[in-house]
Amino acid sequence: MVAVDLLQVAVAQSCCSGRLSGGLTSGCSRGLKPRLVPRCGFQARLTRSVMRLVKNIRDLVYAHKKQNGELLAVFDKRNGAETTTNERKRVREQWIRESDAAHDSFMRQYKEKYWPDAILNRRMLRART
């Protein structure tokens, strides 16, 4: 998460060679957090693209954590019910297979949906700085 937050700051700081219109804005009278407002059109589109990518990747990570937690809860429930060592070993191996399959599925989704955009955005960011 720290790398993602640093990426967001890098996008905002690199706008128009580091110049930002208005710098930090006060948000609004309702007490919203201050935010950086990019001045140039390309940088604004790049910022939106990066922010959307970050949100989608975070949603994918949260979904993976939720599914892994559910698998672990099922494993704990079944592991407590089993009495023999062989049955516990079998249940543990099954959990490992299911957890690995879920991880592989999420990594495949990341690589198919978000990896190309992440590389492209990173290259554009590096070209701007």
pTM, entire model? 0.59
Q: Within 10 Å of residue 24's Cβ, how many Cβ atoms?
A: 10
* Number of structural domains found in the chain: 1
Residue 46: strand, helix, or coil = helix
**pLDDT at residue 33, as a whole number:** 54
Q: Is the CA virtual torsion 114, 119, 124, 128 positive or negative?
A: positive
DSSP code, position 17: G
Mean pLDDT of 35-41: 59
Q: Which domain, by its residues, includes 93?
A: 2-128
Q: What confidence tier does 31 reach under pLDDT thresholds 50, 70, 90?
A: low
The amino acid sitting at 49 is S
* Of 91 and 54, the one with more pLDDT: 54
Task: Give tens-digit pLDDT for 56-102.
Answer: 999 999 999 999 999 888 888 887 766 688 888 888 898 899 999 99
